[in-house]
Amino acid sequence: MNLSDVGLLTLEHLELVIVGTFFGGLAGFLLAIWVRRRPRWAASFLGLAEVIQTIPGIALLAFLLLALGLGNPPVYVALALYAILPVLSNTYEGLQGVDPVYLAIGKGMGMTPGQIFRQIELPIAFPVILAGLRVALVTSIGIATIGVFVGGGGLGVLIFRGLQTIDIQTMLAGAIPAALLAIVLEVGLSLLERRLARATASK
C-alpha cells in the first residue's frame, strides 16, 4: 500500500458518494416538488423513505447484492436510496416553510407559478435543502466504506484489508481519510448553510 493507492481509493470513494447522492438527491427533490401539492401522498412517501433509512446499511447492501451482484452497482443504488429521505423531507419542509405572504406578493407582481417557484420559493428554501444534501452526503461517506463487503471500491477496501491482516497501518490509511472526508463535508457545508441562511434573512 502506498500514498497513490490512498489517493486513488479516496477519489473512487468520492465518485461513489457523489454519483449515488446525486441520483438519490435528485429523486428526493423531484418527489418533494411532486408531493407538496398532494398532502396525502406526502405522508406515505416520507414514511416509505424513512423505512428505507431505518434499514441498517449492511442489510440493505446485502439485499442489493442479491439483486445486482458483487461490485460497485449495489453500492451506488444503496447510496442513492439513502439520499432520498434527507433531501425529500428537507425540500418538502423547506418549501412548506416559505411565508405565503411572499407568494402573494409574487402573484400580485404578475409572476407566473414557475417564476414564483424559481425566484421566490427555491431561494428561500435553499439553505434547508442544502442541509438535507449535507446529511445525505455525510451518510453516504459512511455507507460507501461498508460497500467493500459487497465488492465495492473506495476507502473501505483499505480498512477491510487492514482488518483481515491485522495491519493497523493499512486500516488507518483507509479510516483516517474517510473520517476526514465526513468531517470536512459536515463542517464545510454547515458553514455554507449558515452563511446562506444569514444572506436570505438579511434580504
Partner 1 sequence: MSWLADFWSTYGSQILPALGQHLILVGVALASGIIVAVPLGIILTRFPRWSSPIIAVVSIIQTIPSLVFFALLIPIIGIGLQPALLVLFLYSLLPILRNTYIGVRSVDPTLLDASRGQGMTSWEILYMVELPLSAPIIVAGIRLAAIYLVSWATIAALIGAGGLGDLIFSGIDSENTNLLLAGAIPTAFLALIIGFVFGQVRRLVTPRGLRAEVVTKRDLRTEVVVG
Question: Using CB under 8 A as the criterion, which residues of the chain lie in contact with partner 1 when the complex forms?
Answer: 51, 53-60, 62-63, 65-66, 82, 85-86, 89-90, 93, 128, 131-132, 135, 138-139, 141-143, 145-146, 149-150, 156, 159, 162-163, 168, 171-172, 174-176, 178-179, 182-183, 185-187
Query: Which CB, 56 or 114, lies closer to partner 1?
Result: 56
Q: What are the helix (H) ranges across the chain?
A: 3-35, 39-54, 57-68, 72-96, 100-108, 113-116, 122-146, 156-164, 168-202
C-beta closer to partner 1: residue 84 or 116: 84
Which of 105, 180 has the CB closer to partner 1? Answer: 180
Who contacts 24 (Cβ-Cβ below 8 Å, separation ≥6)?
A: 79, 80, 81, 82, 83, 84, 87, 136
Question: What is the closest distance, in whole angstroms, from the C-beta atom of residue 109 to partner 1 in the complex?
Answer: 30
Three-state DSSP state, 190: helix
Q: How far is the CB of 60 from partner 1 (least distance, A)?
A: 7
- Is the CB of 15 or the CB of 107 nearer to partner 1? 15
In 3D space, the residue among 113, 102, 139 whose CA is nearest the CA of residue 28 turns out to be 139
Q: How far is the CB of 74 from partner 1 (least distance, A)?
A: 11
* Cβ pair 141, 185 in contact under 8 A: yes
Q: At closest approach, how far in Å is the CB of 68 from partner 1? A: 13
